[in-house]
Structure 1
Amino acid sequence: MKVNVTIAGASYSEVPSILIPLKNGGRARFCEVSDTTAKAADVAKGKKFYTSEGELVTGTADLSQADARKTITLIQKEHQTITLTCNHPELSSQTDSDGNTVYATTYQDTLSINLKADTDYYAGKITINGEEQENSSTNPQLAYISAPISNGMIVSATDAAPIPTVPFTDVSLTMTGQGTQWLTGHMLMTTKQSPESPKIVGVGALENGSRKGLLFLLDEEKRYAGCKVELTTGTGISDTTELFYEKDDDLGVIMIGEISDALYSYLAEASATKAEVVLTIKVVG
């Protein structure tokens, strides 16, 4: 601490330390340490300090501390993806020996858990420490919840379930051109079809660079299995393509596949001139 001292008849106030010349050269620093309160157990092991008695002492305290952060282990499940998020700051993470992601946080209290199934699957249920949680989503391919964070919690999900499919079947369409539309390209709307299922309300011919495509707009929620079909127009143009099921956010349920330049050009012209087109779809594989 700072003290008042008198040296060679001169008084000095609030002196923190004094440098005194040594007989053999050099100087020594003297400090007043009577206000020291630390003990060896308060100072890190191996570090030195002076006690209030002026004694040089080595600290003995082991200041190393275990990681006090709360951990969350995420175990992913096949055919679906689980994501964990928190408000700022983001969770730190590392991968354990089993390949699972282990997140850690000190300050966060609430965890957002999102589950998304692959295209052909229904999502399972989110689990915390093995217990199924109530889903907040009405979409069977999604699940999300908010949950309090507890140290050592394990987040996972029950198994995803394959979505049942029905076979796409032969159908004949009579359509009228509608011109070009933003999402569907060269559009033709169905005016008559036989049989009535699968219910196809329209067909769009699309172009992406050198690739030409055809999409069928379906007016039903059935999930059709992919298939190989033969497409034949009333004018005799024939093409074969693989059709694949999709559920588009804007268009709803569609079947889509690539087509030849000849079939694309015919449908595009019919759409532009608002002509009538007959198209027969026959499943061949």
Structure 2
Amino acid sequence: MTHATQPAVRGHYFVPAASHYSTFLSVGIFMLALGFVFRINGTPPGIWSMLIGAALILYVIVGWFGEIISENVRGVYSLWEDRSYRIGMVWFIFSEVMFFACFFGALYYIRRIALPEMAGFEESLSPYGKFSSVWPNAGPLGDAFMPMHAWGIPAINTMLLLTSGATLTWAHWGLIKGKQSQLTLGLAMTVALGMTFMGFQIFEYAHAYSEMGLTLGAGVYGATFYILTGFHGLHVTLGTIMLIVMLGRGMKGHFSEHNHFAFEAVAWYWHFVDVVWLILFVFVYIL
């Protein structure tokens, strides 16, 4: 698809030539996982295996996506490919929904089922001694900590992400109306807001570790806090990288008002990340 026309209608589906990227990706994922296993077991080569695996994955991402962008710009895609990409992105976001649902489900189980059951034992019969099921809670074996309050950096980050959703939508309107400057400015603002969010989260983590005792050793509260906020932060990081790519492509004129699914896919992903944060803000920071 060129940036000046809509996807063509053809009677066949574009089949690319055989690629070595899938093999390199498999090897990279294996090396990364193997290195992680070595690392947690104290084996010295672990860090090198992880670095090699990460380098291979990065090579595949840049090379493979570069080929797809090149095919798109050359106009080899039709409505068949466009439809399949949309279906694929919908299923990908659904898998992400299920991913976070598992962790929110674990948080619900801990707070509403596990802790009350543990606190329900008679003190003389309980292996944990006197134990209360109030939340936040480190559990019977966790270290002492101070809980993270919502009305500080978390509230600021909430406003940042909500604003980024608005600037991204504004950029999309500019793209639909053919206003290049609005598209570029909106994307640049969204990237800046995403990077600011990440900066605040890094500061929050440093403060929690050094001054609040809120570490992974702080029992179930620390574990659920860092798993949920950490994975969300990873998604914000990946989303920001994708937005930077969209900014570069937009500045090169790869998109038109009728042909910009790559932009739409990243926008879907970013709005999903926004929604997850709102749920996380309520159930991790407020309740």
Question: TM-score range, shorter-chain basis?
Answer: under 0.3
Return the index of the structure with the highest Cα Rg. Answer: 1
TM-score by length of 1: 0.17
Structure number having the greater strand percentage: 1
Structure number having the greater helix percentage: 2
TM-score by length of 2: 0.17
